Amino acid sequence: MASINTGRVVVGGLVGGVVANACDLLLHLTVMKDDMAAMAQKFGTDPAAMQSMSAVAPWIVVDFVLGLLIVWTYAAMRPRLGPGPKTAVIAGLTLFLAVTAVVYGFTSMGMMSMGAFGRGSTTELVATVLASLAGAAVYKEA
């Protein structure tokens, strides 16, 4: 069994991270804009603070680390599931489900409305699948 090509994981992860960041930026400025404002009001957080660099920076870093994790997961699953976009989507969905389960738990605690959860999860699903496909397209084994 060949070992994971770390160099390609990093390159693919960066590509996946760029795609995830682009999707998140677009979706948070459009689909989730009102939900984010409502959450800021509910939590008593200054909306300006939520859009500040100190609030946005974790999201950017998180998307890049998530991109690396998705491509590493894709690489780890390849011997079982085979190379290609189908395995890339499965790798992304595996991590998406882990994240969404926690968000659903937060929703049940009253953190956000079910509507916001539905919109947020759907948009994150799109972002994750696109990031997975982009990152995995770059990954190759020697």
Partner 1 sequence: MSRVNGGKLVAGGILAGVVMNICDYVSNNFILAADWEHIARIRNVDMADMSSTSSLVTYVVVDMLLGLLVVWTYAAIRPRLGQGPGTAIVAGFMVFLAQALLMASYAVSFLTWDVLIRGGVLMLVSALAGALAGGWVYAEEDSGD
Q: Which of the stretches 11-19, 25-33, 93-101, 132-140 binds partner 1 when contact is defined by CB under 8 A?
A: 93-101
140 HSE (CA, 13 A, CB side): 2
- N- to C-terminal Cα distance for the chain? 12
The single residue among 6, 30, 45, 122 that binds partner 1, judged by CB under 8 A, is 45
The single residue among 81, 89, 126, 130 that binds partner 1, judged by CB under 8 A, is 81
Q: Which of the stretches 6-14, 25-33, 91-99, 130-138 binds partner 1 when contact is defined by CB under 8 A?
A: 91-99
15-44 residues near partner 1, rule: CB under 8 A: 39-40, 42-44
Site of interaction with partner 1 (CB under 8 A) = 1, 4, 39-40, 42-45, 49-50, 54-55, 58-59, 62, 65-66, 69, 72-73, 75-81, 90, 94-95, 97-99, 101-106, 108-111
